[in-house]
Chain A
Amino acid sequence: MFDFFKSKKPVEAEKIRFSYSEKEVLRDISLSLKKGEIVCVVGKSGSGKSTFLKILAGIISIGYEGKIKIFGKPKFFEKSKVGFVPQEISFIPDLSIEDNIKLIGLSYGISEKKSLERAEELFKFLKIEENLKKKPTELSGGQKVRLNIVLSMLHDPSIIILDEPFVGLDFENRRLLWHFLEKLRKKEKSIVLTSHLLNEVQEHADKLVILRNGKVFFNGNIKKLKEKLKINFIYEIRISKISSEKYEKLKKFCIYKDIKIMDFYENYAMFGVQSEKEKEILLNYLKNIDINIGEKSFREPNLDEIFLSTE
Chain B
Amino acid sequence: MKLLNRFFGYLKKDFYLVYKRKKFFYLFLGIPLILALLFNFFLNPVSYKLNAGVCDLDKSSLSRNVLTADNINFKILNEENCTELLKRKIILKEIDFGIVIPKNFEEEINNLKQSHLKVIYDNTDVTFSNLISWKVDAEMYRFKRRVIDEINKNLKEDISVVEKSYSVFKDYIPSSLKNKATDFEKNLKNIKELDTEFILNPIWTSKEPIYEEKIKEKAGIVYVFPIISLITILMLSSISIIYDRKNGFLTRVKSNSFGLTYLLAKVLFFVILVFVQFLIVLSIFFFNGIKYDLSLNFLVLVLAVGILNCLTGFIIGFLSENEGIAVLFSLIISFPLMLISGIFYPVQTLPKIVQYLFLINPLSYQISLSKSIILFNQLPKKDWVYLSILLFLISFWLLKRDKLFK
Contact = CB atoms under 8 A, between A and B. Distances in A.
Interface residues of B, number: 31
A202 B2 CA distance: 39
A110 B13 CA distance: 14
Interface string A59-74: 1111100000000000
B254 A59 contact: yes
Contact of B5 (A59, A93, A94, A106): A106
Given A61-B400, A92-B13, A107 B247 contact: no
Contacts of A104: 249, 252
B255 A107 contact: no
Contact of A59 (B21, B249, B255): B255
Interface string A107-146: 1111100000000000000000000000000000000000
Contact of B9 (A57, A79, A105, A152): A105
Contacts of B403: 20, 60
| Residue of B5, B10, B247, B256 with most chain A CB atoms under a 10 A cut-off | B256
Given A90-B247, A90-B248, A82 B13 contact: no
A84 B251 contact: yes
A90 B252 contact: yes
B3 interface: yes
A57 B2 contact: no
Nearest to A51: B403
A303 interface: no
Interface in B210-246: none
A171 to B, nearest CB: 26
B17 A95 contact: yes
B256 A89 contact: no
B254 A89 contact: no
Main secondary structure of the interface of B (DSSP, over half): helix
B9 A103 contact: yes
A137 B3 CA distance: 30
Interface in B1-60: 1-3, 5-6, 8-10, 12-13, 16-17, 20-21
Contacts of B254: 58-59, 61
Interface in B293-320: none
Given A59-B255, A84-B255, A107-B256, A91 B6 contact: no
A16 B19 CA distance: 44
B401 A59 contact: no
Given A63-B401, A80-B257, 20 more contacts: A58-B255, A62-B401, A76-B258, A82-B255, A86-B251, A86-B252, A90-B252, A92-B13, A92-B249, A94-B20, A95-B16, A103-B13, A106-B5, A106-B6, A106-B9, A107-B9, A107-B13, A107-B262, A108-B252, A108-B256
17 contacts: A57-B255, A58-B254, A61-B254, A82-B255, A83-B255, A86-B252, A88-B251, A92-B13, A94-B21, A106-B6, A106-B8, A106-B10, A107-B9, A109-B3, A109-B5, A110-B5, A155-B256
